[in-house]
Amino acid sequence: MARSTFIAARNSRHRTAALALYRALIRTASRIPLAENAPKHPIVKIVRKRFSKNTAYTSYRLIYAAMAAGYKFLNLLTKAQTPNSPEHSQVLNHLQSVRNTAALSRTKPHPKQYKPTPPPEPLLINVAKENEPPKYTSNILPRPIESLKGPRKVPSVSATAEGQPFVRLRKPQPHTLSRMIGRKGRIFSNRIENIMDADERLTPEAALEDEWDRMMDDLLAKEGAKGGKRRKQASYDWDAENNAKMETFAWSVQLSRLWWEWKVEKTWEDWIARGEALQKLVEQERSMAEREEGQSNAAAGRNQRTPRRNPLDPDDSPPNVGLSNVQSLTLMDIARDIEPPPDSKQVQDGEAYDPFLSPSWHALVKAQERRMLKWTGRQAERGD
């Protein structure tokens, strides 16, 4: 049998002995004669502090050592009640050393209390109005020449494998920037994985659940029970077949998949706007660097020559590719056409906002119903 942990506070014998020792120490310490200018019962304060410090002990070794020390100091305090005794002098010397240590610590200058610095201003600021595509600008880039300590170094625009844009201002890359990029990349990857999970795991499970419901309905119909067929909710002006499909588990899976598609398109639209803004800011930095370099060459009396291109350098010429005419981010366009501006009163009151009750979500579901019902019907046919 495993040995249980000893809890001192739950042991009646130990609790009785500890309380008796505590009361004896307090009673004895309060009777020690001290100087007239001494604070009231400093020994009592020390005893209480030591007891409160040892209340968390559960080890037999520590508890035995603490109790033995308590009985030892009980004898010491009893003998210290006699003035001019060695024990009385020992107690007075200890109190004097405590006062000297406290006075010395008060003379030392305390460290300055630094005020918490406000968070730095973000590099990009969204200046788009409500219910408009994001549009970013910056109050940091391009940097004025007065804020630079040396020649201007043009930052570079980079992107992750998922397509998340960011700018490199200096080397090495700050840890906070790396952490932010990793966090946003994981969020985007999780949303993609949720879409794949809805297709590969939830859809087959929903088809099995719908097949089970159909079997139960058929059995109830054969037995002649009332309510054998599930009632059709006429939330839309569609036929009975489509209404029946919207009551299945497969329809719920398609709604979940549509939600994650919408979130992915939101993220992608935001990244595209950020990438365009960063590219414009870097181009402004590059033009300012070229202008400053030309002014410095003119001041030094050097002729401005075009540097010879290194064949190992990457080619910065625009790629010879065509632009697709296919409309992109259709879900965002549908939601943005219907989304009204938020109610200022609701925002001020701090009420909870349910996105699944918003007009944009209803419009999005309405626009994608044909596609989702088509997929729901395919799953029903596979189940049959």
The tens digit of pLDDT for each residue in 52-65 reads 888 888 788 888 89
Pair type for strands 165-168 and 156-159: antiparallel
Q: What is the pLDDT of residue 56?
A: 82
Both tokens assigned to 369: 């119903």
Kindly report the CA angle at 179 between 178 and 182, in degrees rounded to 5?
85
**Quick one: what percent of the chain has pLDDT higher than 70?**
76
Residue after which a domain boundary falls, among 104, 139, 160: 104
Given a cut of 90, is residue 370 above it in pLDDT? no
Beta bridge partners of 125: 137
Q: Are residues 99 and 176 in the same domain?
A: no
Tally of domains in the chain: 2
Q: Are residues 265 and 134 in the same domain?
A: yes
Q: Are residues 71 and 167 in the same domain?
A: no
Cβ atoms 373, 245 nearer than 8 A? yes
Q: What are 63-104's pLDDT values in tens digits?
A: 889 999 999 999 999 999 888 899 988 988 888 888 888 888
Would you say residue 29 lies in a domain? Answer: yes
Residue after which a domain boundary falls, among 77, 104, 131: 104
Distance CA 254, CA 364 (A): 12
Would you say residue 318 lies in a domain? Answer: no
Q: Are residues 194 and 81 in the same domain?
A: no
Given a cut of 80, is residue 384 above it in pLDDT? no
Treating both helix axes as pointing N-terminal to C-terminal, what angle do 330-338 and 359-367 enclose, rounded to 10 degrees? Answer: 130
Both tokens assigned to 327: 């409309």
Q: What is the pLDDT of residue 32?
A: 87
271 Cβ contact list (under 8 Å, min separation 6): 163, 164, 165
Would you say residue 334 lies in a domain? Answer: no
Would you say residue 83 lies in a domain? Answer: yes
Average pLDDT of the segment spanning 227-239: 45
Q: Are residues 149 and 272 in the same domain?
A: yes
Other CB atoms within a 10 A radius of the CB of residue 274 amount to 20
Residue after which a domain boundary falls, among 104, 135, 158: 104
Cβ atoms 336, 131 nearer than 8 A? yes
Average pLDDT of the segment spanning 307-329: 57
Range in 111-120, 122-131, 148-157 the model is least confident about: 111-120
Name the 3-class secondary structure at 253.
helix
Would you say residue 329 lies in a domain? Answer: no
Would you say residue 229 lies in a domain? Answer: no
Treating both helix axes as pointing N-terminal to C-terminal, what angle do 369-383 and 249-300 enclose, rounded to 10 degrees? Answer: 130
Q: Are residues 158 and 286 in the same domain?
A: yes
Q: Are residues 201 and 265 in the same domain?
A: yes
H/E stretch holding 168 reads: strand 165-168
Distance CA 377, CA 372 (A): 9
Report helix, strand and coil shares of the chain as percent, to nearest 5.
Answer: 60, 5, 40
Determine the straight-line distance between the first and last CA of the chain, rounded to whole angstroms: 58
Q: Are residues 28 and 81 in the same domain?
A: yes
Q: What is the pLDDT of residue 228?
A: 47
Treating both helix axes as pointing N-terminal to C-terminal, what angle do 359-367 and 369-383 enclose, rounded to 10 degrees? Answer: 60
Q: Rounded to 5 degrees, what are φ and ψ at 126? A: -80, 115
- Give the CB-side neighbour count of residue 175, counting CA atoms within 13 A: 0
Given a cut of 50, is residue 21 above it in pLDDT? yes
Q: Are residues 129 and 95 in the same domain?
A: no
Would you say residue 137 lies in a domain? Answer: yes
Q: What is the pLDDT of residue 237?
A: 42
Q: What is the pLDDT of residue 308?
A: 56
Q: Are residues 68 and 173 in the same domain?
A: no
Average pLDDT, the chain: 80
Distance CA 116, CA 10 (A): 45
Would you say residue 140 lies in a domain? Answer: yes
Q: Are residues 187 and 289 in the same domain?
A: yes
State which amino acid sits at residue 128: A
Residue 44's domain spans which residues?
Answer: 8-104
Q: Are residues 149 and 267 in the same domain?
A: yes
